[in-house]
Structure 1
């Protein structure tokens, strides 16, 4: 298992639909869950909704044909400020403005447990964000999630906290932003 044997491929929403079962399997492995558990089922529901969003992009990492990690997201539509709804502390109106080409949401970045800590996540992160034309990217994590240290190490800045919606995994989420293009 080395980064030298990992290949990356970029996909649109149509391609991603065909890969959904593999994505669910890798997601479950990343969290040590069973593919049919609620956490994995919730991921499947989120992914299906996001595949059709504008600017959707998926990058997959494979080793000898096996999907070992992935990252995907989409572009916030013009006028879509739901992502920022209720964020505290409240940023300026200018910060909240969405043009349809300003902000790309990094929705999921997952790496199978055997591949974690080997650079696959960072490679996926840089591959997807390096291909974006938006001004910035954003992501949400659970409060105090261990991944927050990784994200800040990659240059992400904490914006604030938003309340979760009914049925969300967390009751609140921390929002981060990263100016694009990514430089390493």
Structure 2
């Protein structure tokens, strides 16, 4: 049984994340029970590398006994960036889609190695990543009707709709969720 009390959490910027890509990819592959050379794991690496230099990027890692047991990362949407919301159905009101460059943080990945899952590590990564963010809200995308959606809803996330996937995306559609970022503020 993993020792939950031994887990430490550390924030990293994009340059540090780039140096950690190998261990992040290994933990990702373990979380999904796939080989590190699988399409799923290599697609993760490609997505991740594109995010490390985005505005507001932050990575939180969870370590126990010098082993990366989980991580979460994301970035801030740029001003005028409506691609994230492109084609969302049902279509929300116009002000919902507006991006100022400081309004929305994308929770891009949250992964925990299989032997550490279901022990609260994911929630602690989530709260460490989002708890002190200055943005108004966070958003994330999941596969349509993915089992993780129940977890996110339990953490206060609200489903806002579904968007079509882009060419080359892992899935043909994604469900979008939003969380007001005052959830952890006094």
TM-score, normalised relative to structure 2: 0.97
After superposition, give the CA deviation of every residue in 1:38-61 in whole Å (9 maximum; x if it has no partner): 000000000000001000000000
Determine if the alignment matches structure 1 residue 8 to structure 2 residue 9: yes
Q: Which stretches of structure 1, 4 residues or more, deviate above 4 A after TM superposition?
A: none
**Equivalent residue of 2:84, what SS?**
helix
1:48-59 matches, cutoff 5 A: 48-59=49-60
C-alpha RMSD over aligned residues: 0.9
User: Deviation at 1:182?
Assistant: 2.4
**Equivalent residue of 2:47, what SS?**
helix
Query: How many Å separate the matches in 2 of 1:179 and 1:2?
Result: 32
1:165-176 matches, cutoff 5 A: 165-176=166-177
Query: How many Å separate the matches in 2 of 1:95 and 1:181?
Result: 17
User: Deviation at 1:167?
Assistant: 1.4
Determine if the alignment matches structure 1 residue 127 to structure 2 residue 115: no
1:108-123 matches, cutoff 5 A: 108-123=109-124
1:28-67 matches, cutoff 5 A: 28-67=29-68
Identify unmatched segments of 5+ residues in structure 1: none
Residue 8 of structure 1 contacts residue 61 of structure 1 at CA under 8 Å; is this kept in 2? yes
**Equivalent residue of 1:8, what SS?**
strand
Query: How many Å separate the matches in 1 of 2:90 and 2:183?
Result: 26
Q: Which residue of 1 aligns with 2:164?
A: 163
Query: How many Å separate the matches in 2 of 1:71 and 1:96?
Result: 24
1:70-109 matches, cutoff 5 A: 70-109=71-110
Query: How many Å separate the matches in 2 of 1:47 and 1:169?
Result: 14
TM-score, normalised relative to structure 1: 0.98
Residue 158 of structure 1 contacts residue 175 of structure 1 at CA under 8 Å; is this kept in 2? yes
Query: How many Å separate the matches in 2 of 1:3 and 1:100?
Result: 36
Query: How many Å separate the matches in 2 of 1:98 and 1:3?
Result: 38
- Between the two proteins, the alignment pairs up a number of residues equal to 184
Residue 129 of structure 1 contacts residue 181 of structure 1 at CA under 8 Å; is this kept in 2? no
